[in-house]
Structure 1
């Protein structure tokens, strides 16, 4: 990738247009054809691309705007899940934050392409910027489902990882250079980390792409979902063979920084969250710059990427756009300081 120092990117999702939700509902009712729904998705993605380009983001995504949710998009396209589950808490912090969970009724199996490569090709064909794709990780898919088949959760997560590996290979073969795996639930289950890292490394082994692992505290409706702390994951987290770690820094006053002071980065690039997506206030470029300066005291600039803390799906589009612009302008301030 041809990128400046301190490249800017996004975690994945972008503000979901209300009109797209309406069209999806009309499609469920049979009033909109499959072709018309696809056109609506195309137009939403094009608008998302344009926002990121105008804001000046260096490495962009399609905003995940074709996905029902980061979970349902995958579970609806993998055999072994059915979608008539009951309401269930998403995380372990607030039991009132719930969504209906899919049910695992049989051994999960790949039934063909999930479609990530096709969607990346659309993104790549409509921008001159560098791009990446995001894929929900196997533990997230497992934890957001009601398991009525597997006796061993590790076996379930391994099976899901095997399915996702085939999807990742398809994406890499299409030409995507940067693939991000999203595992927000890792924070909630630190006791499982050793074998989760083992499964993760096996899932991406030998695939010709750059990999990023994103771990957050959950972000449904801009609310935190998990009780755990990043400190519960270190230093075992550094054993992942991802090239990048993407973590929240803005919402927690750069909490992970002490961990990297203590354990180092083992040569990994760190994607630093410099935009607090849970804060409705829009950061100024100087606020962003001040957050970056703190990071530079610990991590060399060549190893730092910049992003929002998490996805932007649940915020108004004007706020999401303004926050991205602030991130980019803040990065420019620090680039000039480094240059001089």
Structure 2
């Protein structure tokens, strides 16, 4: 069962990441060139995050993030924080529709472990929680899902390292669930009460062309679905009752590009019917996401946050068009179980999407305006 009472209001939330300000980009480049120290970089990051929280509060957000300002990637930085994981150059980046990313990856170099004192996300959230408390607003933490971690560990050449440390899939699955569970509890101890599992695995699984390219012809999508939901549910089982766990699903978000396309139809029974989260933040900003019909499979009283406002373009959506789409979604779920957000973050990697900071904030102001009017 979900870990929270889902009838509570979701509140105005952004999916997670924000465009990095110029001063932060400059400092990260200087640090990479050994021109400033880690402590000096962290001071710049601290200042940028403090200002970001204030801006989020000013635009009306009820829940804030640190914009993922300390991360290069939405997912890999978290993986690299676990014991038994090393940062590598894969030799090829993630292949998007029109671009290829940098080729960083994560693979095993030992058995998995979690140590709160050495995992950077723990200290990073500790700072965000302090700033949010000072500004009297709630903070949330965004984490790549356990399924996403597994997907990286079995990606191409990475998979050959697993058998050096694990003699069965089940043993690996057990450790993935354990380190995530321990990480979430460590975040809870720092005050986290909203955890969002960002998960592209389902968004990629809906696209047979994408998976034939990555996994090769003949892969078993049903088996992968069973693995993904087991990993995610296992990691979030038996958490404190006042901890809300949500998930965000998309089809790739890099420099305004996308990686996969296809509706949720083929994964709805498992993702919407069996994953034990409170709310689904779902990409719905283009035809690539398909229809709202799969929302009828969302089980229990779980809710859906419709990602109808794109972060891939600075062009502002027409308000009435968005309201009409929300009404269309009520064919499958009642309005009280629906909400609105952007489809993804504005900068899932440090490069960011192709829009301005002013356009970023205008997008969020539009979300707020529609929430007030419709909900």
Q: Which moved more, 1:215-224 or 1:92-101?
A: 92-101
**Partner SS for 2:85:** strand
- Counterparts of 1:1-340 in structure 2, within 5 Å, are 7-90=11-94, 96-113=100-117, 114=119, 115-116=121-122, 117-145=125-153, 146-151=158-163, 155-189=171-205, 190-191=221-222, 192-208=224-240, 209-237=243-271, 238-252=273-287, 255-261=290-296, 263-313=297-347, 314-315=352-353, 316-335=356-375
Once the 2 structures are TM-superposed, how far is the Cα of residue 226 of structure 1 from its aligned partner?
2.6
User: Which digits, 9 at most, give the CA deviation of each residue in 1:108-153, with x for residues without a partner?
Assistant: 3224342334144234224323332111112323333534421366
Query: Equivalent residue for 1:338?
Result: none
91 and 111 in structure 1: CA distance in 2 versus 1, 3 angstrom threshold: farther
Aligned residues: 333
Does the 8 A contact of 2:261 with 2:289 survive in 1? no
Q: Which consecutive residues of structure 1, in runs of 5 or more, have no partner in the other structure?
A: 336-340
**Partner SS for 1:101:** strand
Give the Cα–Cα distance (whole angstroms) in 2 for the partners of residues 246 and 274 of structure 1: 10
Give the Cα–Cα distance (whole angstroms) in 1 for the partners of residues 169 and 251 of structure 2: 22
Give the Cα–Cα distance (whole angstroms) in 1 for the partners of residues 105 and 324 of structure 2: 41
Does the 8 A contact of 1:12 with 1:134 survive in 2? yes
User: Which digits, 9 at most, give the CA deviation of each residue in 1:271-323, with x for residues without a partner?
Assistant: 11121122331124334333333233432232223210011112331111110
**Partner SS for 1:15:** coil
183 and 49 in structure 1: CA distance in 2 versus 1, 3 angstrom threshold: same
Once the 2 structures are TM-superposed, how far is the Cα of residue 48 of structure 1 from its aligned partner?
1.8
Once the 2 structures are TM-superposed, how far is the Cα of residue 30 of structure 1 from its aligned partner?
3.0
Q: Which moved more, 1:79-88 or 1:323-332?
A: 79-88
Give the Cα–Cα distance (whole angstroms) in 2 for the partners of residues 177 and 260 of structure 1: 26
89 and 27 in structure 1: CA distance in 2 versus 1, 3 angstrom threshold: closer
Q: Which moved more, 1:85-94 or 1:70-79?
A: 85-94
What is the TM-score of this pair, normalised by structure 1?
0.87
Give the Cα–Cα distance (whole angstroms) in 1 for the partners of residues 204 and 179 of structure 2: 23
User: Which digits, 9 at most, give the CA deviation of each residue in 1:62-109, with x for residues without a partner?
Assistant: 211122212232133222222232332425766844532233232232
**Partner SS for 1:102:** strand
**Partner SS for 1:149:** helix
What is the root-mean-square deviation of aligned Cα atoms in Å?
2.7
**Partner SS for 1:318:** helix
Give the Cα–Cα distance (whole angstroms) in 2 for the partners of residues 255 and 327 of structure 1: 21
Query: Equivalent residue for 2:218?
Result: none
**Partner SS for 1:104:** strand
Does the 8 A contact of 2:197 with 2:246 survive in 1? yes
67 and 173 in structure 1: CA distance in 2 versus 1, 3 angstrom threshold: same
Give the Cα–Cα distance (whole angstroms) in 2 for the partners of residues 219 and 228 of structure 1: 15
**Partner SS for 2:89:** coil
94 and 173 in structure 1: CA distance in 2 versus 1, 3 angstrom threshold: same
Q: Which moved more, 1:246-255 or 1:38-47?
A: 246-255
